[in-house]
């Protein structure tokens, strides 16, 4: 076996599945598969959307991972990554294999010659490494602390929703393409207390955020009252530079956490008073 065959064989055997996917039509063609899904008919689907739904319908995706799985595993998201100039995209999720859930890493590779005529990408699925297991467990614990987690690109004016337990996660017309639009729509829909509205709009003004991170490159936060359920609660919105951050590509992580109880207790100790739950 020559060197090329040795490397190819080792890589081939490392994957659970390999496929080519058309980013416009969604057509999917598997070239390597594992047996578990064939019993359920998942691999008989002709396009990526049907395949994704088939896995969910057959309870093969861990319930807590389903919202993110739907978000990332579709050709519209693939096209958005290509439009940004990415050459690859990696996403890890939990999948049921042999009657238990395990971490799987999905990777989309964008060929150099992709064009309107050649619109195929390569997709692979493999077992995740131990680091992914640890990161996944840590991410789940971290997510439980926050009401919202979003990845923002201030330069390109887009965002990815990672976690949302509030009304903002269901805003119509905010499909991830515009963080500035999402901020404005949150205010317009009455999700920010009227007394905090002006400060909220000032804080979330896109150009101001760009300039702040270009100059400071540190965490910034803003406390305001957000509508949660039937009333308003004090929350803290925290923005910090992401690992990918550069001045030319301002990737920032946004976190929103509920601080109402601790903040109200602090006010009481200072002799100040606000209603416990502002309607």
What is the pLDDT at residue 143?
52
Residue 149 sits in the same domain as residue 168:
yes
Residue 149 sits in the same domain as residue 129:
no
* Closest to 166 in 3D by CA, of 242, 93, 258: 258
Residue 119 sits in the same domain as residue 20:
yes
Using the Cα atoms of residue 75, residue 80, residue 86 and residue 91 in order, give the sign of their dihedral.
negative
What is the pLDDT at residue 133?
47
**Cα–Cα distance measured from residue 137 to residue 143, given in angstroms and rounded to the nearest whole number:** 10
Does a structural domain hold residue 259?
yes
Residue 130 sits in the same domain as residue 156:
no
What is the pLDDT at residue 213?
93
Report the CATH number that the domain containing residue 160 is assigned in CATH. Answer: 3.30.450.20
Going from the C-alpha of 245 to that of each of 138, 177, 253, 262, the distances in angstroms are: 22, 19, 10, 32
* Closest to 234 in 3D by CA, of 186, 202, 266, 271: 266
What is the pLDDT at residue 195?
94
| Three-state secondary structure call for residue 92 | strand
Residue 191 sits in the same domain as residue 246:
yes
Residue 129 sits in the same domain as residue 217:
no
Residue 83 sits in the same domain as residue 200:
no
Residue 8 sits in the same domain as residue 118:
yes
Beta bridge partners of 251: 153
DSSP-assigned letters across all residues of 14-80: HEEEEEEEETTT-BEEEEE--HHHHTTTGGG-SBHHHHHHHHHHTT-B-GGGHHHHHHHSSHHHHHH
Which of 103, 138, 173 is the last residue in one of the domains? 138
H or E element: which one contains 162?
A: strand 158-164
What is the pLDDT at residue 130?
56
DSSP-assigned letters across all residues of 191-218: -B-GGGHHHHHHHT-HHHHHHHHHHT-S
Maximum CA extent, the chain? 80
Which of 90, 123, 138 is the last residue in one of the domains? 138
Does a structural domain hold residue 278?
no
Per-residue pLDDT of the chain (279 residues; tens, 9 = 90+): 666 667 667 667 778 888 899 999 999 998 887 755 555 666 677 789 888 888 898 888 988 788 788 888 888 888 888 887 788 888 888 888 878 888 888 999 888 877 767 789 999 988 886 554 445 554 555 555 778 888 898 988 888 877 665 555 444 444 455 888 889 888 888 999 999 999 999 999 999 999 999 998 889 999 999 998 778 999 999 999 987 788 888 989 999 988 888 888 777 877 665 554 444
Does a structural domain hold residue 32?
yes
Going from the C-alpha of 8 to that of each of 5, 34, 128, the distances in angstroms are: 5, 18, 19
What is the pLDDT at residue 279?
44
Does a structural domain hold residue 275?
no
Does a structural domain hold residue 277?
no
Does a structural domain hold residue 163?
yes
Residue-number span of the structural domain to which 162 is assigned:
145-269
Which of 96, 111, 138 is the last residue in one of the domains? 138
pTM: 0.54
83 CB neighbour count, 10 Å cutoff: 10
What is the pLDDT at residue 264?
82
Does a structural domain hold residue 241?
yes
How many domains, in total, are found in the chain?
2
Residue 234 sits in the same domain as residue 201:
yes
């Amino acid at each position: 076996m020559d060197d090329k065959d040795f490397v190819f064989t080792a890589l081939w055997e490392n994957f659970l599945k390999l496929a080519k996917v058309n980013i416009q039509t969604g057509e999917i063609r598997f070239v390597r598969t594992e047996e578990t899904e064939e019993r359920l008919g998942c691999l008989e689907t002709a396009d990526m959307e049907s395949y994704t739904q088939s896995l969910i319908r057959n309870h093969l995706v861990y319930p807590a991972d389903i919202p993110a799985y739907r978000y990332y595993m579709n050709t519209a998201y693939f096209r958005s990554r290509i439009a940004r100039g990415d050459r690859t995209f990696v996403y890890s999720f939990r999948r049921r294999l042999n009657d238990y859930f395990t971490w799987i890493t999905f990777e989309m590779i964008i060929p150099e010659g992709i064009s309107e005529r050649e619109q195929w990408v390569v997709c692979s699925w493999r077992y995740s490494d131990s680091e992914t297991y640890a990161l996944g467990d840590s991410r789940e614990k971290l997510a439980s602390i926050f009401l919202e987690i979003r990845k923002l690109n201030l330069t390109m004016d887009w965002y990815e929703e990672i976690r949302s337990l509030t009304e903002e996660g269901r805003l119509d017309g905010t499909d991830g393409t515009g963080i500035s639009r999402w901020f404005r729509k949150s205010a317009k829909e009455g999700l920010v207390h009227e007394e905090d509205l002006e400060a909220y709009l000032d804080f979330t003004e896109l150009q101001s955020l760009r300039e702040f991170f270009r100059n400071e490159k540190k965490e910034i936060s803003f406390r305001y009252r957000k509508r949660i359920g039937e009333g308003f609660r004090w929350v803290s919105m925290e923005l910090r530079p992401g690992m990918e951050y550069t001045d030319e590509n301002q990737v920032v992580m946004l976190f929103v956490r509920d601080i109402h109880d601790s903040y109200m207790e602090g006010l009481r100790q200072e002799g100040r008073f606000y209603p416990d739950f502002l309607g």
